[in-house]
Structure 1
């Protein structure tokens, strides 16, 4: 049995796991979003600054 199958079975048994997992994902998303916004700015400024950084790292 793989992880996904095991997790699906556990969700069937205990639906609270879903809400915990959802909260975890949302907090990770919010943290990442804040980190990137603070690092690169917003909107067009974000695109420009992110591209500049990626070019400096030779990733694009």
Structure 2
């Protein structure tokens, strides 16, 4: 999640230098929504992606 307009709490921001452009990224993101809106599916997909990345190490 991009953090371009955030100026406070700089300890929660990661600076990423990519192609001569410095990108600000948030360390923490919240997922919220109504019941049965697939929040759990998003978390499961992220866990699966992490598993696949770890397999290549």
Report the TM-score, using the length of structure 2 for normalisation. Answer: 0.38
Which of the two has higher C-alpha Rg? 1
Q: Which has the higher strand share?
A: 2
Q: Which has the higher helix share?
A: 1
Report the TM-score, using the length of structure 1 for normalisation. Answer: 0.36
